Amino acid sequence: MKNSKYILLALVFVLFSCKTNVFTGKKTLNFVPDSTLFPMAFSQYDEFLGSNNVVTGTADAEMITRVGQKIKTAAQRWLNAIGEEQYLEGYEWDYKLVNDDTVNAWCMPGGKIVFYTGILPICQDETGVAIVMGHEVAHALANHGAQRMSASQVQALGATGVALGTQVAGVDSGTQNLINQAYGVGSQVGGMLPFSRSHETEADKIGLYLAAMAGYNPDEGALLWERMKANSGGQSTPQILSTHPSNDSRIANLKELAPLAKAEAAKYGVTSFK
């Protein structure tokens, strides 16, 4: 009973740990403060750079920095317009190109950004880089890293609750294992994976808006993902089992978002695009 009381108190804490995402207006589960998250991210970033081949002084490396700075400026303009001028306090922006054939890019909480050289042929040009940059920066701005950490803690808390509940109920060990396994699969497929896919869709939208506000053509978003689909050979994990939306649903969504992104950019005086 004592353990059950602690779990109940923890669940109450979770319910009151929701924050409003300033970019979407939605309530989000987030009880990991930036003061905890950012130093962890910065330390991991430094370790990564120390063990990877960072490209400097090339046209591509300069392009990554240039695009990143434009996306950052667009984000600040957006935040200023909605009365969140101080939102980026604590961010330490940095943009690096790493010599690696992996088709990937990422942005850590707090604004540490890495592009792998392997993604540049798919980006094709600066506009393609801006689409990817906007998406990755959007993950950081929307606190998706903190939300995933929070969700993982809730998932673990739920697993503990299920295990204790079966013990209190006197369920035999074999049935306990089956119930615990069912919870693990159910919470992953029905909870964590949809949660992750929603973050990707959210980052696509925010990122496309940021790219448009920075002067890059948002129509490139769908074209970029058509190239990503072609690069994968058209093969992908079934969406229900994936952390990301399917290529086709992503392409369709980006096509719908492009005119909305242009309309949003027009509010900031941006009506022509690279």
* C-alpha dihedral sign at 237, 239, 245, 249: positive
**192: its two tokens:** 């964590």
CA 9 to chain centre: 29
Look at residue 196 in the predicted model and tell me its pLDDT.
Answer: 58
Residue pLDDT, tens place only, 158-192: 444 434 554 545 544 554 453 344 433 333 433 34
- The pTM assigned to this predicted structure is 0.78
CB 32 within 8 A of CB 154: no
- Return the active site residues: 136
Tell me which residue of 254, 236, 256 sits closest to 131, measured CA to CA: 254
Residue ranges per domain, the chain? 29-266
Q: What is the pLDDT of residues 88-124, one digit of tens each?
A: 999 999 999 999 999 999 999 899 999 999 999 999 9
Sheet holding 94-98, edge to edge: 54-55, 94-98, 112-116, 105-108
250 vs 228: CA distance, rounded Å? 11
pLDDT in tens, 12-55: 444 444 667 788 777 766 667 888 889 999 999 999 999 999 99
- Confidence (pLDDT) at 232: 84
> What are the structure tokens assigned to 146, written together?
């903190």
